[in-house]
C-alpha cells in the first residue's frame, strides 16, 4: 500500500519511489464520481494497524478522515485531471464530502440489508447504498436529511433516533467510497451501486425513513 505522509516534505520524499502516474482503480472510481454523478471527491488518509498516513501519531480516527492538505477534486473533473491529482497523493483513500450532492442515513448493516430488500420490493426510489467494514450501511439521500432526521422520525412516531441506531450524516462529514479501505479494517463496498437515475438526484429521506426505522427497531428488539 502506498501511504501518503502528512507534510509537504514527506510528499516530496515519497514521490521518487512511489509516485504512480498510471491510472489506478482509485483514479477510475474518482473520475466516475466526478464525471458521471457530479460528486466532489477529496483524498483521504489510510491506516495500517493504529498508524495513520496523515502523520499524526495521536490521530483520533486513523485512516478515516480527509487529508487536510489535499485539494478537492471537483465535480466535472476528467479522468486525465483525476489521474494528475491522484499522482500527487499515491495510496490515498477516496472520500466524498457529505451535505452537498447528498446526505446519508447510516444504520447497522444487517438492518440496512433487510430494509434495502424491502424497499426494492416496494418499488420505492433508492439512491446508492454502501456497506462499511465496521458493519454499517449508508443510504445516500437528498441533502438536508441529516438536519431533518429527528423531526421526520418524530412525525412518524419515533421519539429517539439513537434508540433505533439511526444516524444522519450531513455537512462537515465525509464517507469513504468504494473501493477504498476505511480505518485499516477493509474495503467499503456497494450494496446498491450508483446509477444515473439515483446518484445525480438521490431520493428524499422521508420516502425511505419509515421502512428504515421499522426494520432497525425490529432488529434491535
Q: pLDDT tens digits, residue range 44-98?
A: 999 988 899 999 999 999 999 999 988 899 999 988 899 888 888 888 999 999 9
For the segment 123-138, the average pLDDT, to the nearest whole number, is 97
pLDDT class of 196 with cuts at 50, 70, 90: confident
CA separation for the pair 21, 7 (Å, rounded):
20
Across 9-19, average pLDDT:
32
Q: Is the per-residue pLDDT at 17 higher than 80?
A: no
Identify the weakest region by mean pLDDT among 30-34, 56-60, 161-165: 161-165
Predicted local distance difference test score (pLDDT) of residue 122: 96
Residue 173 has pLDDT above 70, yes or no: yes
Predicted local distance difference test score (pLDDT) of residue 221: 65
- Residue in the block written with cell 467494514: 133
Residue % of the chain over a pLDDT of 70: 89
Q: List, in sequence order, every beta strand (DSSP E) within 21-155.
A: 42-44, 47-48, 51-52, 93-97, 103-108, 129-131, 136-141
pLDDT of residue 27: 87
CA count, 13 A, side-chain hemisphere, 54: 22
User: Residue 154 above 70 pLDDT?
Assistant: yes
Confidence (pLDDT) at 24: 73
Average pLDDT, the chain: 87
Alpha carbon distance 126, 190 (integer Å): 13
Predicted model pTM = 0.88
* pLDDT for residue 102 is more than 50: yes
Listed by start position, the domains of the chain span: 8-97, 103-220
**Residue 177 scores a pLDDT above 80:** yes
What is the sign, positive or negative, of the torsion defined by CA atoms of 86, 88, 94, 99? negative
How far apart (Å, rounded) are the C-alpha atoms in residues 22 and 20? Answer: 5
Stretch 111-140: mean pLDDT, rounded?
97
Amino acid at each position: 500500500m502506498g501511504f501518503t505522509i502528512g507534510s509537504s516534505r514527506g510528499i516530496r520524499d515519497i514521490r521518487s519511489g512511489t509516485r504512480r502516474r498510471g491510472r489506478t482503480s482509485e483514479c477510475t472510481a474518482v473520475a466516475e464520481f466526478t464525471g458521471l454523478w457530479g460528486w466532489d471527491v477529496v483524498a483521504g488518509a489510510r491506516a495500517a494497524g493504529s498508524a495513520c498516513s496523515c502523520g499524526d501519531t495521536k490521530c483520533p480516527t486513523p485512516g478515516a478522515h480527509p487529508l487536510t492538505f489535499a485539494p478537492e477534486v471537483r465535480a466535472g473533473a476528467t479522468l486525465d485531471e483525476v489521474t494528475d491529482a491522484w499522482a500527487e497523493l499515491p495510496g490515498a483513500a477516496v472520500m466524498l464530502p457529505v451535505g452537498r450532492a447528498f446526505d446519508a442515513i447510516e444504520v447497522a448493516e444487517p438492518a440496512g440489508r433487510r430494509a434495502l430488500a424491502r424497499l426494492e420490493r416496494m418499488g420505492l426510489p433508492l439512491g446508492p447504498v454502501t456497506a462499511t467494514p465496521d458493519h454499517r450501511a449508508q443510504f445516500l439521500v437528498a441533502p438536508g436529511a441529516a438536519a431533518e432526521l429527528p423531526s421526520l422520525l418524530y412525525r412518524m412516531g419515533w421519539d429517539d433516533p439513537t434508540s433505533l441506531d439511526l444516524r444522519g450524516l450531513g455537512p462537515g462529514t465525509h464517507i469513504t467510497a468504494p473501493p477504498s479501505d476505511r480505518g485499516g479494517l477493509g474495503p467499503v463496498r456497494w450494496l446498491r451501486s450508483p446509477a444515473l437515475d439515483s446518484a445525480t438526484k438521490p431520493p428524499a429521506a422521508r420516502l425511505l425513513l419509515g421502512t428504515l426505522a421499522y426494520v432497525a427497531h425490529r432488529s434491535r428488539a
